[in-house]
Structure 1
Amino acid sequence: MTTRTALVTRLVAGAVTAVVIGGGVIAAAAAPWPTLTREPMSLDVVPEAARSVAACDGPLLALGRDATAASAITSAASSTVVAAADGAEPTEYTLAAPDRADDGAPPAAFSAEPTGGRPTDLGAASAASLDEADLRGLAVSACTRPAMESWLVGGSAATGASDLVLLTNPGDVAATVDLRVFGADGMQEPVAGQGIVVGARSQRAIPLAALRRGEQSPVVQVTAQGAPVRASLQSTLTRTLIAGGVDQIGASALPAPQQVIPAVNVTVAPDSGASAGGLSVRLMATAADAGASVTVRSVADGGVVSQQDDIALMAGRPVELEVTGMPVGDYTVTATADAPLVAAAWTSTDLAAPADFAWAVAASLVEAPTLVAVAPAPGPTLTLTAERETVATVTPVSGGTPRTVELAAGQSRTIEVEAGTIYRIDPGAGGIRGSIGFSGDGQLGTYPVAGSAAAAAELTVYP
């Protein structure tokens, strides 16, 4: 073979090889390649059970009773507390009250150790009443767990009101709290509401007027650092030197596009000739402007008695809606919007007689069995509102026959309960919202059913 022939042969062979390799690459690119998919490693765990804690509002307080000390806060009436736990026996302890000018009865808190690797379910509630020239009425409240964020919807800082923001820390670590107050002019961060130190096992009382004087429809956002606190509001009203009522108002459900107030008790018929207090609903969009609607339904038959649509809400500016023409009865109030909001409803007894009022706040959804304490106060009832179709069970923890409550989606029902008794509520397959209401001669009060500490969901952990 000549040199030229050998060179041609090598060129031809190289070209053929190149074609073969190129074709293989193209074919490989066109053919489906094997893939390897790996899901992230995860583990569902239940957090280590912690001690259950519930803090109470404590006694009714009076602001400025002493004419020589207009800013002095003193105890006006002691409260009666009932408590029970499902598991370990609860321990009661008292809290310091550094803002008080007297040594009246201190607020109480309860704790219970975990049992069987799970938090102990703890239920407690308190009631206080008085009938004096400057302060009268019934105040009831549930003793609840502290939280890092709370929303107080209710009360007033206008003339005639002497409201107090209560910050209760039942834990062993001090908390630092900031208060943001929303009103007709939007949000403010008052100097008196910033960096409030709430010591371990103590309660602070801050006059609402010191935060935003003159505001008729405030909403207060409470944010804690270092440790959670229980936030609440004591609201008192005086009309032309006549005591108009008192209430202890717990935190409302956290902002959401829908808020449900299970029961608002209207006690005076609009055509009775008496001076009825009426019903009003306070709303506020918390993050963005929103359009909202408010529906008021009769608990007795589910019928709509009031419907207000196309309510324009500006973020951070509370709106007060008057609902007129309400017959005597219990009503469920539902507020919906296209952005998160908070809500509460106000009603009162006959204002022409010894009067009282109550704020009913939106209730959180309860999806697991929980204990609820019925405060020792007159005429107690339990109202349940269903998220979905369900059969709820209500059982006294001290023993007794369970009661079943069948509910369709969106339906509410009211049953009588016994004052001073602790019940276990099993919401069944669907979630429920609930409230305990009280009504007597010139007395009115309510508080929502709170979820159990023992119902903490599993956490998914990604290494």
Structure 2
Amino acid sequence: MTPGSDEQAQLGRGARKRAVRRDAVLEAYGRSERRRGWALPTLGGVGALLLVGGVAYGTTVLPATPAALNTGAAPAALSAATAQYVCPAAPRLPSGADEATDVDFSPLSSDASTEATVSLFSDLAGRLPGSTLRPATTAGDAHGGPEAAAASGEELTTSQPDDIQQGAPATSGADGVAVRDAGAHRVGAPGGEQGLPSVVTVEPLGGQAGLGSAIAAYSASDGDLTGLDVSACTVPSHQQRLTGATTTLGSTAILVLTNPSASAATVDLRLFGAEGIIDSPGTSGLVLGPDQTRSFVLGGLAPNEENLAVEVRSSGGAVSASIQQHRLFGVMPGGVDIITPNADASQRQVVPGVSSPGADALEELNSQDDVDVAPAVQIAATGSATTAEVTALGPDGPASLGSGSVVELAANGTGSVDLSNLPAGEYTIVVEADAPVIATARSVSGAAEESVDMALTPSTSELAFDQLVSLPSHGTSQLVVYGSAAGTIEYQLVDESGSLGETQQQEVAEGDSVTLDLDDVDAPAGVRISTTDTGLFAGVIVSDGATGLSGYPVTPAAANGTGVPVRVGY
């Protein structure tokens, strides 16, 4: 049974009981009305009516017609809300790092840079949604609340009037012709001097969620945190799971929690290791004030775990969670990346955008002293024990993983499948299990006598009808699209000036993984993807030189329904 299924079952039983009581009350009400109609008193067998001054008086009391009750669930209309995306903090070592040592052996970097990219798409009248960006804080309510913080943040696009935000969707511009426009914004050091997470807001348009996307990018060429990371900014949630962390010797994993809401949040953590749930003190009742960020070194909560997963549940405000992961092989940097939440647990997990250097390159990397790297997919069971099988799909179809494509997982346990046998190239990883699981794939890159980098890409959900994906200025980006069923996507690049490229189309056969180069415009800042088909998944791979590598999933835009189902009855 998955987490939350027992609560859902209880809710279902309660709803059925209420429905039975409601039907009984309505039936009794109907019987009473029929009896009243039969027993009404009359005068001389005929109802007498007296008109005085235009006012009617009668001795007969006519039965009131029962009001028809519609007890079905109907959506209660709500105003469209502003979407929030939390961008992960810049990678940093735990407090106490010495900044005065030689840069070659320093935990810091001489040229580290961070940047957020926010891309926006207009409605059919060419109007862009209002958007802002601000850093979070380490002390709750330090800005006087998220509203005051947003006001002090950087305005990326001007806020639209309320009647445009909440009115009917536009069908055309002022001249009657439909107009589409885009916007792209690159912001350096979005988390401020402290390198904190940042919060991006995107306002609605026409009563619907504004179409926007945000990513955070980090790049450094020296120091312990050498490497490239590009992470999608995520929507805060009350429940999320992350897998792919490692707390063995030489590895550091730091969980970062951010509460961007106006309400305090109380957070409970559950940690999953090879043998199941890890009993660790200090993981429940964690309080985050409004607009507050807190960090936790996972090695202190769950040491020496090769494959560690974390479940984050919050009450009160919704929170955002990410894990900064980095590694050292002796004095050689072993890569840095940020893990973001997985898709919902299910018996099938899809991870598009996994890169393999090939067996020869891996052998060369591992021939160096202390270096031990391998691409892998890390899997966690979210309930009962299960068997998981991994398939790698490349441009030429399924690729062999050797004899190690199956892993047994304990109840709430973790494990991994090695991907070292994959030929060089880009792949989609599919995990199928007998019970719900989550999965994150680890890609590696590097060159002998140079640093090693890694990319940790979580599973994702199906593409939505229309969504936007931001792209970094660092490195070269590729879009990997996988079809669990045959389908077609249309995609359109957005450059740094907000100009739109030509609309292109790509067919994806069932079981195919297709890699698309996103170089049709100079300095692409985003790509709009649309499809009318189901069963399509996508991820982005970013490479920078021989060593820099990162990846992130393409996830549907923030959900923003038009109403909440409300049932009227007893």
After TM superposition, the score normalised by the length of structure 2 is 0.69
Distance (Å, rounded) in 1 between the aligned partners of 2:76 and 2:436: 30
Instruction: State the AA in 1 paired with 2:487.
Output: T
1:16 corresponds in structure 2 to none
Q: Which has the higher strand share?
A: 1
Instruction: State the AA in 2 paired with 1:416.
Output: D
Within 5 Å, give how 1:10-159 maps onto structure 2.
41-44=72-75, 47-66=78-97, 77-86=112-121, 87-98=128-139, 103-159=193-249
Q: Structure 1 456/390 Cα, relative in aligned 2: closer, same or farther at 3 Å?
A: farther
Instruction: State the AA in 2 paired with 1:81.
Output: A
Deviation for aligned residue 1:392: 0.7
State whether residues 91 and 225 of structure 2, in contact with CA within 8 Å, keep that contact through their aligned partners in structure 1.
no
Distance (Å, rounded) in 2 between the aligned partners of 1:275 and 1:115: 51
- Describe the SS at the equivalent of 2:93: strand
Distance (Å, rounded) in 2 between the aligned partners of 1:368 and 1:456: 14
1:254 corresponds in structure 2 to 344
Q: Structure 1 382/154 Cα, relative in aligned 2: closer, same or farther at 3 Å?
A: same
Distance (Å, rounded) in 1 between the aligned partners of 2:362 and 2:438: 33
Match of 1:295 among 382, 391, 396: 391
1:393 corresponds in structure 2 to 490
Match of 2:480 among 360, 364, 383: 383
Q: Structure 1 291/272 Cα, relative in aligned 2: closer, same or farther at 3 Å?
A: closer
Tell me if 1:416 matches 2:416.
no
State whether residues 163 and 235 of structure 1, in contact with CA within 8 Å, keep that contact through their aligned partners in structure 2.
yes
Distance (Å, rounded) in 2 between the aligned partners of 1:382 and 1:114: 27
- Describe the SS at the equivalent of 1:192: coil
Distance (Å, rounded) in 1 between the aligned partners of 2:82 and 2:473: 26
State whether residues 52 and 121 of structure 1, in contact with CA within 8 Å, keep that contact through their aligned partners in structure 2.
no
State whether residues 108 and 224 of structure 2, in contact with CA within 8 Å, keep that contact through their aligned partners in structure 1.
no
2:553 corresponds in structure 1 to 448
Distance (Å, rounded) in 2 between the aligned partners of 1:273 and 1:161: 21
State whether residues 438 and 446 of structure 1, in contact with CA within 8 Å, keep that contact through their aligned partners in structure 2.
yes
- Describe the SS at the equivalent of 2:282: helix
Within 5 Å, give how 1:169-318 maps onto structure 2.
169-270=259-360, 274-275=364-365, 277-298=373-394, 300-306=395-401, 311-318=407-414
State whether residues 274 and 350 of structure 1, in contact with CA within 8 Å, keep that contact through their aligned partners in structure 2.
no
List per-residue Cα deviations over 1:33-88 (Å, max 9, x = no partner). Answer: xxxxx9952324565311111110132211245369xxxxx986441011023341
Distance (Å, rounded) in 2 between the aligned partners of 1:429 and 1:381: 21
Distance (Å, rounded) in 2 between the aligned partners of 1:222 and 1:62: 22
State whether residues 178 and 194 of structure 1, in contact with CA within 8 Å, keep that contact through their aligned partners in structure 2.
yes
Q: Structure 1 415/458 Cα, relative in aligned 2: closer, same or farther at 3 Å?
A: farther
Q: Structure 1 105/322 Cα, relative in aligned 2: closer, same or farther at 3 Å?
A: closer
Distance (Å, rounded) in 1 between the aligned partners of 2:201 and 2:493: 21
State whether residues 75 and 105 of structure 1, in contact with CA within 8 Å, keep that contact through their aligned partners in structure 2.
no
Q: Structure 1 199/122 Cα, relative in aligned 2: closer, same or farther at 3 Å?
A: farther
Tell me if 1:333 matches 2:429.
yes
Instruction: State the AA in 2 paired with 1:306.
Output: L
Instruction: List alignment gaps of at least 5 residues for structure 1.
Output: 1-37, 69-73
State whether residues 405 and 417 of structure 2, in contact with CA within 8 Å, keep that contact through their aligned partners in structure 1.
no
Deviation for aligned residue 1:145: 0.7
Q: Structure 1 201/272 Cα, relative in aligned 2: closer, same or farther at 3 Å?
A: closer
State whether residues 163 and 236 of structure 1, in contact with CA within 8 Å, keep that contact through their aligned partners in structure 2.
yes
Instruction: List alignment gaps of at least 5 residues for structure 2.
Output: 1-68, 100-106, 122-127, 141-191, 367-372
- Describe the SS at the equivalent of 1:453: coil
- Describe the SS at the equivalent of 1:154: strand
Deviation for aligned residue 1:240: 1.0
What RMSD, in angstroms, separates the aligned Cα atoms of the two structures?
Answer: 2.5
Q: Structure 1 271/172 Cα, relative in aligned 2: closer, same or farther at 3 Å?
A: closer
Deviation for aligned residue 1:321: 1.7
Q: Structure 1 461/220 Cα, relative in aligned 2: closer, same or farther at 3 Å?
A: same
Tell me if 1:432 matches 2:536.
yes
State whether residues 375 and 419 of structure 2, in contact with CA within 8 Å, keep that contact through their aligned partners in structure 1.
yes
Among the aligned pairs, what percent are the same residue? 27
Q: Structure 1 234/278 Cα, relative in aligned 2: closer, same or farther at 3 Å?
A: same
Deviation for aligned residue 1:160: 0.6
2:507 corresponds in structure 1 to 406
Deviation for aligned residue 1:273: 5.0
Q: Structure 1 302/65 Cα, relative in aligned 2: closer, same or farther at 3 Å?
A: farther
Deviation for aligned residue 1:318: 0.4
Distance (Å, rounded) in 2 between the aligned partners of 1:319 and 1:46: 45
State whether residues 387 and 409 of structure 2, in contact with CA within 8 Å, keep that contact through their aligned partners in structure 1.
yes
Deviation for aligned residue 1:256: 0.4
List per-residue Cα deviations over 1:142-169 (Å, max 9, x = no partner). Answer: 1121111111111211111121101122
